[in-house]
Amino acid sequence: MKSFKHLFQKITASGEQRHKLRSFNLSPCIGGKAKSVKELAEELGFNVYQSQLPKGMSGRLVSDPFSDNGFAIEVNERESVQSRRWSVLHEIGHFFLHPRHKQVLADDMFLDRSNSAFYVDQKEEVEANSFASVLLFGDGVLRAAVSLHGRDNAALAKIFGVSEKTIEIGKRQFLK
Rounded to an integer, what distance in angstroms lies between the CA atom of residue 172 and that of residue 176? 6
Q: What is the DSSP string of 48-103?
A: EEEE-PPTTEEEEEEE-TTSSSSEEEEEETTS-HHHHHHHHHHHHHHHHH-GGGGS
**150 secondary structure, DSSP code:** -
> Is the whole model's pTM more than 0.75, yes or no?
yes
Pairing outcome for strands 47-51 and 71-76? parallel
pLDDT in tens, the chain (176 residues): 789 999 999 998 999 999 999 999 998 888 888 999 999 999 999 999 999 999 888 999 999 999 999 999 999 999 999 999 999 999 999 999 987 655 544 445 454 444 444 445 789 999 999 999 999 999 999 999 999 999 999 999 999 999 999 999 999 999 97
